[in-house]
Chain A
Amino acid sequence: DAKTTQPPSMDCAEGRAANLPCNHSTISGNEYVYWYRQIHSQGPQYIIHGLKNNETNEMASLIITEDRKSSTLILPHATLRDTAVYYCIVRSTGTSNTGKLIFGQGTTLQVKP
């Protein structure tokens, strides 16, 4: 699985869009990009995933660059409850070790009033 690089921390004003970047320059063609988050004192929560195309769900949008070497998770209208550590994870579609997610240090997003 390709290595990911994320900024250690970011701030965002409540109600504004939060854009969390992730670099995965060694990603290969069969690897998905996943985003999970961990709110304080809770277990990690799946947010979204993508392969090549941009994706959107009720929680967030995922923008993947055309060369797939980086991506951005967008929370369109951040609330205080979005304060959490956000993890960008790259996983092969053909993995045999299903569920063996490699969590790095992630980005601590602080949403401020």
Chain B
Amino acid sequence: DTAVSQTPKYLVTQMGNDKSIKCEQNLGHDTMYWYKQDSKKFLKIMFSYNNKELIINETVPNRFSPKSPDKAHLNLHINSLELGDSAVYFCASSLRDRVPEKLFFGSGTQLSVL
């Protein structure tokens, strides 16, 4: 079983559309994250949730809205998609406030906005 799974793996859409990416982890972790990797391969955190509560919000445009129905799921909804949103989005999970910070990442969702 995949520890952190996200769907879809590829997402191609038009500008202005609304889309969602789903993420689920079966590791029993209480913290989940969304990271974004841009075209230059820089990987940067967007959000983190701990047990359904928003912990980190890295000045991401409010067109991006994470939703955590329970601690095993963290979905990412994006409204009014723009060309600049094209990137690979990674979901991850970990145990909160636990050192070492061992994050487990999903395999990514490649979003292409046309």
Contact = CB atoms under 8 A, between A and B. Distances in A.
Interface of A: 32, 34, 36, 38, 41-46, 49, 85, 91, 93, 95, 97-101, 103, 105
Would you list the 6 A-B pairs with minimal beta carbon distance, nearest first?
A43-B105, A103-B43, A49-B100, A46-B102, A43-B90, A44-B105
B107 interface: yes
B108 A99 contact: no
Contacts of B97: 98
Contact of A101 (B45, B96, B104, B107): B45
- Chain B interface extent, by class: 20 to 34
A100 B45 CA distance: 6
Interface of B: 4, 31, 33, 41-45, 48, 55-56, 58, 90, 92, 94, 96-108
A41 B100 CA distance: 25
Binding site secondary structure of chain A: loop
A97 B56 contact: yes
A43 B45 contact: no
Contacts of B108: 41-43
Contacts of B100: 32, 34, 49
A99 B92 contact: yes
Given A43-B92, A45-B105, A99 B99 contact: no
A45 B105 CA distance: 7
A103 B90 CA distance: 13
Nearest to B45: A100
A109 to B, nearest CB: 14
B48 A46 contact: no
Contacts of A99: 31, 33, 45, 48, 56, 92, 94, 96, 101, 103
